[in-house]
Amino acid sequence: MTVAVTGASGQLGRLVVEALLEAGSTPVVAIARDGNKVADLAARGAEIREASYDDPAALDRALTGVDRVLLISGNEFGKRVDQHTNVIRAAERAGVRLLAYTSIPGGPANPLILAQEHAGTEAVLAKSAVPHVLLRNGWYWENYLGGLAHAVGSGVLHGAAGTGRVAAAARADYAAAAARVLTTDGHAGRVYELGGDDALTYAELAQVISEISGKPVRYQDLPESDYAATLTGAGLPAAYARALADADAGIARGVLDVDSGDLRKLLGRPTTPAAVVIRAALA
């Protein structure tokens, strides 16, 4: 059985390939737009195949002889449904026996801006000929690391999440779960709602940052529009800033407070707490 991972040069994709190589139970194909970016994975035993989500012919070559594939959602917003469809069609032509897709909690029922293209991809998968499994990944604790230095330095963690809780986990947790799904049986047709064991409010997250950094950090809740403006002022593109502020507003409504326990079950262990990720980042 051969397993392939798309987007292998990305943060999640690389971790999945590494988990598969560490398990050593199956040949691994790492698919990336630029093979040079994953040359180190080749040295560790992965077969490197180059393909972008925009190139159906290259995707056909990349999925030749592949039994199971992880389709990691792309990052080109506005193009992702078409790009993901290219991968799905190539998987159909290649006779792939299982396609796992990294979606978002709630799928089509999720109201977030970030969920729209995931819902579109799930709709394509629902009508496709390839057996598939949905890995509806929740938030990563790493999502907060970009603003960590500012929070510690200023003493303020900004957001628009109110008192809502986010059940996040480490990116490596989601990678390990994906590797398990790719290398074990019985997952076709399943939908996994994935989130961490610890669901924190932003005020609680600020307290964790404070305790680890040794400096006082408090949470300042902002209106969604003000938070989007803050992110834009920090250099984020306006559309992305709006999507992140919208995600915070969704957290306030409980959209990312995943309590299924699916991630823990797939891992066979507790998920990684925020404190572990933050401590490693500050170290």
Tell me which amino acid residue 198 is.
D
Residue 5: beta bridge partners?
30, 70
pLDDT of residue 85: 98
CATH homologous superfamily of 3-137 equals: NAD(P)-binding Rossmann-like Domain (3.40.50.720)
pLDDT, tens only, 59-118:
999 999 999 999 999 999 889 999 999 999 999 999 999 999 999 999 999 999 999 999
Q: Is residue 31 within 8 Å of residue 49, measured between CB atoms?
A: yes
Which residue bears the tokens 């957001």? 159
For 73, the token pair is: 């959602």
At 182 the pLDDT is 98
> pLDDT digits over 17-46, tens only?
999 999 988 999 999 999 999 999 999 999
Encode pLDDT of 197-224 as tens digits.
999 999 999 999 999 999 999 999 999 9
Q: Quick: pLDDT tens for 223-274.
A: 999 999 999 998 999 999 999 999 999 999 999 999 999 999 999 999 999 9
Angstrom distance (rounded) from CA 158 to CA 167: 18
* Helical H segments across the chain, by residue range: 11-23, 39-43, 56-62, 80-94, 116-126, 148-154, 171-183, 202-213, 224-233, 238-252, 262-267, 274-282
Q: Which of 114, 63, 56, 48 is nearest to 84 (CA)?
A: 56
Q: How far apart are the first and last CA of the chain?
A: 40
Please state the pTM of the whole predicted model. Answer: 0.96
Whole-angstrom Cα distance, residue 103 to residue 169?
15
Q: Which two tokens stand for residue 57?
A: 């012919």
Can you tell me the distance from the alpha carbon of 150 to that of 225, in angstroms, rounded to the nearest whole number? 20
The dihedral built from the CA positions of residue 74, 80, 81 and 84, taken in this order, carries a sign that is: negative
Task: Please state the domain extents for the chain.
Answer: 3-137, 140-170+195-259+268-283
DSSP run (H or E) holding 32: strand 28-32
Sequence-distant (6+) residues with CB within 8 A of 268 are none
Q: How many helices (H) and strands (E) does the chain have?
A: 12, 11
Fold adopted by 140-170+195-259+268-283: UDP-galactose 4-epimerase; domain 1 (3.90.25)
Local structure of 102: helix, strand or coil: strand
Residues composing the chain: 283
What token pair was written down for 273?
């707490």
Helix H or strand E encompassing 221: strand 218-221
Q: Are both 3-137 and 140-170+195-259+268-283 of the same fold?
A: no
Question: β-pairing, 199-200 with 166-167?
Answer: antiparallel
